[in-house]
Amino acid sequence: MKNQTKKVIITLSFLLSLMGCLSANTSESDKLVPDPKYSPADVVQIQMNALKNHDSPVQGTGIEITYRFASPANKAQTGPLERFKTLFDNPTYAPMLGYSNLEIGPTQNYNTSANVPIIITAEDGTKAAYIFRLNKQSDAPYENCWMTSAVIRVALDDPV
């Protein structure tokens, strides 16, 4: 009986420490939220880092982080989150998941809107270009935060 109790205590200790590790990782991803300190390029970098590592620390985390940085108007068109996730099943956006290389071009800033061009190299080696359109939000809770209003795939030979 004493050995069984000891095994249960060890198992519980292990599970609690594992839960602590998971919550530590989750809390790091939970910190990635819109903030006025982020520039348009910062927002794109955060979203693309999330999509590159989309299943870390748990499956779907990257897409969820990306969704957090979608503007309220964008969310009205693409949400809720479960619907937003299906965008990455589409060949237009699928290359963003787990890409191998990212190039961020110069931001075109227009006071309360901005365009940020990127070129990615997908896992399979193909390249894809996108323009992130961002808007500075004026309403709470996102006042003065840059958020993505649209992501448009463009031909690689188009000026980005």
Evaluate whether 66 touches 48 at the Cβ level (below 8 Å): no
The topology under which CATH files domain 32-154 is Nuclear Transport Factor 2; Chain: A, (3.10.450)
Element (H, E) at 5: helix 2-30
pLDDT at residue number 22:
38
Q: What is the pTM of this model?
A: 0.79
Quote the mean pLDDT of the chain.
84
Instruction: Name the amino acid, one letter, at 23.
Output: S
What pLDDT score does 73 carry? 96
Angstrom distance (rounded) from CA 136 to CA 10: 51
pLDDT at 29: 65
CA angle 33, 152, 133 (to 5 degrees): 45
71-126 residue pLDDT tens: 999 999 999 999 999 999 999 999 999 999 999 999 999 999 999 999 999 989 99
Say if residue 30's pLDDT is above 90.
no
Q: Which residue has the tokens 């927002």?
A: 43
- Please provide residue 47's backbone torsions phi and psi, each rounded to the nearest 5 degrees: -65, -45
Distance CA 51, CA 96 (A): 6
State how far the alpha carbon of 101 is from the alpha carbons of 46, 97, 123, in Å: 14, 11, 9
Q: DSSP readout, 13-27?
A: HHHHHHHHHHHHHHH
Task: Please determine, for residue 8, whether its predicted confidence score (pLDDT) is greater than 50.
Answer: no
The domain segmentation of the chain, as residue ranges, is 32-154
Distance, CA of 135 to CA of 137 (rounded, Å) = 6
